[in-house]
Chain A
Amino acid sequence: MIHMAETKVNESEKPRIGVFVCSCGSNIGGFVDVPSVADYAKTLPDVVYATQNMYTCAEDGLSNIREAIRKHNLNRVIVASCTPRTHAPLFQATCESAGLNKYLFTFVNIREHCSWVHMKEKDLATKKSKDLIRMGVARARLLKPQEEAKVEVEPVGLVIGGGVSGMTAAASLADMGFPVHLVEREGDLGGFVKILNNLYVTEKSAAETIKPLIEKVTAHKNITLHLNSSVKSVEGFIGNYEVGIAPKGGEEKKYKVGTIVVATGALEFVPEGLYGYNQYPNVVTLTEFEILCRKKTLPKLKSVAFIQCVGSRGQKMSYCSRICCNVAIKNAINIADNYEDMLGVMEKQGTLVDKIPVEKKATEEILERRRRRRGRGTEGEGDAEEVKLGPSEKIEVTVFNRDVMAYGVEHELTYNKAREKRVKFNRYTLDHLPKVFMEDNQLKVTYFHETLKLERTMPVDMVVLSTPLVAQPDAGDLSKMLKVPLGQEGFFLEAHVKLRPVDFATDGIYVAGTCKGPADITEAVTQGAAAASRAATPMAKGYVQAEALSSVVDETKCTGCGTCIEVCPYGALRKNEKGIAEVIVAACKGCGCCGATCPEGAITMTNYTDAQLLAEAKAALQEEV
């Protein structure tokens, strides 16, 4: 499919330039004296052929170019017409079809940059067209044929993180037929979801819901699972990574992979010192609340308050965590609908749960420990005795919020449903934060009533704090190892917020799930599959081809100062064993930053050398000859 141009020019051969000036109907012809421009082109150095066409891009124009290349033995072609941004590929392909390397083609724009912007000055526009062609000729004389580098891609994927997004990415790659290494640092797959109660839009338990995915990943013949393991080292570039994976306390082993998906997830923010957390009993985070529900260990409650945006939206973290409103709504509905189902062992005694210990991450342990402290260490969930309360509607649920992020169809309808179930949504502003305190052995919440403009206090039995997802504390290590950036608040930063949501700027590495920023499961697995698609592309092709637009280091001039390595946005430069800068052609995008920066002037750009640019620019300063 990709065809390499045969190289017709040997470098010492004298340039033989052909110039094709286009009238583009009357688009150029109407405002520029095209015949005189074509005549003028003939007088320029090394131009052996010049002509005009009505439409150079039409098939007759193109065949004119092909014929002229053969008949006049042209080794440089210049088309003076519209803009290279849309038409260069067409003319380059035409040159190639006539055996001329596409890098020997030069585009001169006399339409967008001339005839269309100087419609009332035919003489001046004609003069400018001549100047522009003279510039093009000056450039063309210095062009060299280029080969496009091809780099083989190892068709093996690596996925870091075994949560829903990582599992989805791995399963997708595996289903497409690529072997995948899936690295999870914990002993089980499932990530954050495995400790949750139920998931929204389903009554099924979270663990049940993701079980099929875990089973698929575990059983898949193309997936090599590395549980209790982590990535220790990464060397190389797209198509050719060597990664070291080591089990906990074990030996590091090296694997060769072509592409990498990062899906390391996020943690829940611990609201230390906020709203009586870790100070009063029964003040818990959302995750802790879900664990209580799942374990069926909820105490008897008459009134529950959710406080939203605890530590988010400018309080500790600057961002909105996207999921916590909907998770709170889910739990509010659970209380209204399934409360009796979640009541647990403690209710027999009618006591309240005492405070939940603070952990970096809420785990099973929290509950284990609490139970042990209560002297019922060995009791299982099954022992929970049915304790019937009155009708669940009698439980009052209030959600103190700043804005309710029930975006889209599903969430908004669920939000409406919650209100129908008489869950109260109370808005607060930053000027009047709710307060949680203990009075007469009763937990209370004070809030500001916006309509009445006064403070009110209500007794509650439990306060659930909706805290945001926060970046993994060790994301920075991975970021350094992979040379991919972290953005705001420690989440991974994608290549382009709009159009490349699961790519990193560095080719060959992709990102999915909450390690990129808060997202729910549906969004995380969409990103997982998307990342798999992106990662599969170079592997399916088997190679990556770099446009010959890259930097070139002159080894004799480079002193290894490393400035270029610092400025390259794509990590496309590294030091070789001699301590000299080396370009990874497959990774270089040809921006030229390193070239303009190199203090030793050791870097030039293929096809955009200083000499070519200066010749082109200086030709403009000459007078018409």
Chain B
Amino acid sequence: MEKAVMVIGGGVAGIQASLDLADKGLIVHLVEKTPSIGGRMAQLDKTFPTNDCSICILAPKMADCFSHPNTNVITYSEVIGVEGSVGNFKVKVLKKARYVDESKCTGCGECLEKCPSKVVNDWEMGLTTRKAIYIPFMQAVPRVMTIDKEHCLKLTKDKCGNCMKACKRGAINYEMKDQVLEVEVAAIIVATGFDVWDPTPSTEYGYGRYPNVFTAMEYERMINAAGPTHGHIQRRSDKERPRKMAFIQCVGSRNPQVGHPYCCAVCCMHATKESMLAREHYDDIESTIFYKDMRACSKGFYEYVERAKRDYGVRYINSDATVQENADKHNPIVVYDVGGRQQSEEFDLVVLATTLVPKKETAELAKLLGLKVDEFGFLESSDRILGPGRTVKPGIYLAGYAAGPADIPESVAQGSSAAAKAVEAIAQAGG
């Protein structure tokens, strides 16, 4: 009997877990909710503290993971039922209809051009649109199209059908139905990652009200050369590029009153990175970071911040901050205090480091799997000290941001660590 493991969530943590298992000869079923694996890391521009290009280092792993002879990557799918226990779980996976035959589509994109229906592009954080038939991003894996049934004219109003005509491969199938797959596995790894909290409710930051206030994730897409603005930093109000930028930290985090009391652990560093990248794009951009504590505490991080100050002229101000607006030019005004005195300063653009929260669905998934979540929705380990990643359910393990704030290297290490635990369990069960 072949031993198989299921990995839920195809971000960097899930990919790492899958590769570690597949390389050992185990069969891996990787279930990813969206049309492509890659997770949040695929959206980032560069990564701290090396400023490596994110997708460049991730894409080879995505391709490896997908084409590995021992992996079965099931995208656009969700786990809807689990039975059994360690050694033999029976998992039900709902594979949503993508209305495009994965085995026929070559990702050529001819269908896209003909599709009349434009939809807000979530993957680009809403900064641009995509078509109803789409591939989330250029380096998506698998490189096949998906039809968004909510916005497809054919599927909603039985009207268009352009993509079927355009597709020379005959890959489009409007009749496709959702499928339920049953998979037997010996162990399960959960790596469902995080979501970005929408800061609109925290009105003191003016997000949604002032056009030139952005979230960090929006900014990451904006500075990405393959992103909606081709790497140009642009104000929403007038498409001008900013010269003075402010980064505000702990937006909705470390705030027990409104938002979330915990620290997201990565935003101090990503703000530092983002301010450095701004300077790399235009050497006259001046960035200021308003922070509570500069949590630059992994290997090379403190030095990174020092470099930002020294070589990139980034200004760090230790203060809470809120945003108002100079309505004339839509310039955000940051109000802060230093040494007990309130001050304010006008900027061209503000980037908010918003809280990162566990995916909402993770709580439901936890219920299905019999796992515990903490009050914020992060999955809980049974032994916080010596057994991180183990859960109350033998045979189910955790990795990545879903189990608590973690940056990429930590997520990767947790992915490998969860893989080790799954192999241990299988070996112990008599493998």
A and B touch in the complex (CB under 8 A): yes
Contact of B376 among A409, A416, A518 (CB under 8 A): A409
Tell me which residues from 162 to 190 in chain A have a Cβ below 8 Å from any Cβ of chain B. Answer: 164, 168, 172, 175-177
Tell me which residues from 266 to 323 in chain B have a Cβ below 8 Å from any Cβ of chain A. Answer: 293-303, 306, 318
Contacts of B331 in A (CB 8 A): none
Contacts of A531 in B (CB 8 A): 416
Contacts of B168 in A (CB 8 A): 25, 54
Tell me which residues from 508 to 524 in chain A have a Cβ below 8 Å from any Cβ of chain B. Answer: 516-518, 521-523
A209 and B385 contact, CB distance less than 8 A? yes
Contact of B427 among A27, A54, A177, A199 (CB under 8 A): A177
B409 and A501 contact, CB distance less than 8 A? yes
Tell me which residues from 191 to 237 in chain A have a Cβ below 8 Å from any Cβ of chain B. Answer: 199, 201-202, 209-210, 212-213
B299 and A517 contact, CB distance less than 8 A? yes
Contact of B413 among A427, A526, A537 (CB under 8 A): A526
B108 and A24 contact, CB distance less than 8 A? yes
B297 and A498 contact, CB distance less than 8 A? no
The stretch that binds B, out of A130-138, A312-320, A380-388, is A312-320
Does chain A have a CB within 8 A of B25?
yes
How far is A201 from B386 in the complex, measured between Cα atoms in Å? 12
- Asked, given contacts A409-B262, A499-B61, whether A540 binds B24 with beta carbons under 8 Å apart, the answer is yes
How far is A320 from B269 in the complex, measured between Cα atoms in Å? 13
Q: How many residues of A contact B (CB 8 A)?
A: 77
Contacts of A405 in B (CB 8 A): 293, 295, 297
Contacts of B385 in A (CB 8 A): 199, 201-202, 209, 521-522, 525
Does chain A have a CB within 8 A of B163?
no
How far is A516 from B299 in the complex, measured between Cα atoms in Å? 9
Contacts of A529 in B (CB 8 A): 389, 416-417, 420-421
Contacts of B423 in A (CB 8 A): 176, 533, 536, 540
Contacts of B262 in A (CB 8 A): 408-409, 412-413
Contact of A407 among B20, B57, B297 (CB under 8 A): B297
Does chain A have a CB within 8 A of B408?
yes
- Asked, given contacts A409-B378, A522-B385, whether A517 binds B298 with beta carbons under 8 Å apart, the answer is yes
**Interface size bucket, B side?**
35 or more
A497 and B299 contact, CB distance less than 8 A? yes
How far is A534 from B104 in the complex, measured between Cα atoms in Å? 36
A534 and B416 contact, CB distance less than 8 A? yes
Smallest CB separation, B267 vs chain A (Å): 10
Contacts of A320 in B (CB 8 A): 296-297, 301-302
Identify the closest chain B residue to A528 (Cβ): B417
Fill in one digit per residue for B315-345: 1 if any A CB lies within 8 Å of its CB, else 0: 0001000000000000000000001100000
- Asked, given contacts A172-B424, A498-B47, A530-B420, whether A403 binds B386 with beta carbons under 8 Å apart, the answer is no
Does chain A have a CB within 8 A of B265?
yes
Fill in one digit per residue for A527-554: 1 if any B CB lies within 8 Å of its CB, else 0: 1111111101100110000000000000
Contacts of A527 in B (CB 8 A): 413, 417
Contacts of A89 in B (CB 8 A): 67
Fill in one digit per residue for B99-120: 1 if any A CB lies within 8 Å of its CB, else 0: 0000010101110000000000
How far is A500 from B404 in the complex, measured between Cα atoms in Å? 20
B69 and A526 contact, CB distance less than 8 A? no
Number of A-B contacts (CB under 8 A): 201
Interface SS of B by simple majority? loop
Contacts of B169 in A (CB 8 A): 25, 55, 58
How far is A525 from B431 in the complex, measured between Cα atoms in Å? 24
Smallest CB separation, B342 vs chain A (Å): 13
How far is A530 from B299 in the complex, measured between Cα atoms in Å? 18
Identify the closest chain A residue to B340 (Cβ): A451
B408 and A498 contact, CB distance less than 8 A? yes
Tell me which residues from 377 to 404 in chain B have a Cβ below 8 Å from any Cβ of chain A. Answer: 378, 384-389, 404
How far is A499 from B60 in the complex, measured between Cα atoms in Å? 11
Contacts of A403 in B (CB 8 A): 293-296
B384 and A410 contact, CB distance less than 8 A? yes
B417 and A530 contact, CB distance less than 8 A? yes
Does chain B have a CB within 8 A of A488?
yes
How far is A320 from B294 in the complex, measured between Cα atoms in Å? 11
B413 and A502 contact, CB distance less than 8 A? yes
Smallest CB separation, B191 vs chain A (Å): 14
Contacts of B143 in A (CB 8 A): 86
Smallest CB separation, A491 vs chain B (Å): 7
User: Interface centre among B69, B254, B295, B300, by most A CB within 10 Å?
Assistant: B295
Contact of B404 among A408, A497, A498, A530 (CB under 8 A): A408
- Asked, given contacts A404-B293, A408-B265, A498-B57, whether A532 binds B420 with beta carbons under 8 Å apart, the answer is yes
How far is A242 from B285 in the complex, measured between Cα atoms in Å? 56
Contact of B110 among A26, A199, A201 (CB under 8 A): A26
Does chain B have a CB within 8 A of A603?
no
Contact of A164 among B294, B340, B386 (CB under 8 A): B386
B297 and A526 contact, CB distance less than 8 A? no
Smallest CB separation, A397 vs chain B (Å): 18
How far is A496 from B58 in the complex, measured between Cα atoms in Å? 12
Contacts of B156 in A (CB 8 A): none
Does chain B have a CB within 8 A of A1?
yes
B303 and A319 contact, CB distance less than 8 A? yes
Contacts of B408 in A (CB 8 A): 498-499
Smallest CB separation, A31 vs chain B (Å): 13
How far is A146 from B109 in the complex, measured between Cα atoms in Å? 37
Contacts of A522 in B (CB 8 A): 384-385, 388
User: Interface centre among B24, B106, B256, B302, by most A CB within 10 Å?
Assistant: B302
User: Interface centre among A172, A313, A498, by most B CB within 10 Å?
Assistant: A498
Does chain A have a CB within 8 A of B263?
yes
Does chain A have a CB within 8 A of B261?
yes
How far is A217 from B319 in the complex, measured between Cα atoms in Å? 48
Contacts of A530 in B (CB 8 A): 412-417, 420
Contact of B20 among A86, A322, A450, A537 (CB under 8 A): A537
Contact of B261 among A54, A58, A412, A498 (CB under 8 A): A412
Fill in one digit per residue for A486-504: 1 if any B CB lies within 8 Å of its CB, else 0: 0010010000111111100
How far is A561 from B431 in the complex, measured between Cα atoms in Å? 50
Contacts of B376 in A (CB 8 A): 409
Identify the closest chain B residue to A538 (Cβ): B23
Contacts of B254 in A (CB 8 A): 412
How far is A164 from B61 in the complex, measured between Cα atoms in Å? 30
How far is A537 from B22 in the complex, measured between Cα atoms in Å? 9
How far is A319 from B384 in the complex, measured between Cα atoms in Å? 26
Contacts of B412 in A (CB 8 A): 498-501, 530
Identify the closest chain B residue to A173 (Cβ): B420
Does chain B have a CB within 8 A of A411?
yes
Identify the closest chain B residue to A323 (Cβ): B297
Contacts of A412 in B (CB 8 A): 254, 261-263
Does chain A have a CB within 8 A of B204?
no
Smallest CB separation, B386 vs chain A (Å): 6
User: Ordered nearest first, which 9 A-B pairs have the shortest CB separation?
Assistant: A530-B416, A533-B420, A529-B417, A517-B299, A175-B424, A403-B293, A540-B24, A501-B409, A409-B262
Given A497-B50, A499-B57: 4 more A-B contacts, CB < 8 Å: A24-B108, A322-B297, A410-B384, A517-B299
The contact sample of 7 A-B pairs, CB cut-off 8 A, is: A177-B431, A403-B294, A404-B293, A408-B405, A499-B61, A516-B299, A529-B389
**Which A residues lie at the B interface, using CB under 8 A?**
1, 24-27, 54-55, 57-58, 86, 89, 164, 168, 172, 175-177, 199, 201-202, 209-210, 212-213, 313-314, 318-322, 325, 403-413, 416, 427, 450-451, 453, 488, 491, 496-502, 516-518, 521-523, 525-534, 536-537, 540-541
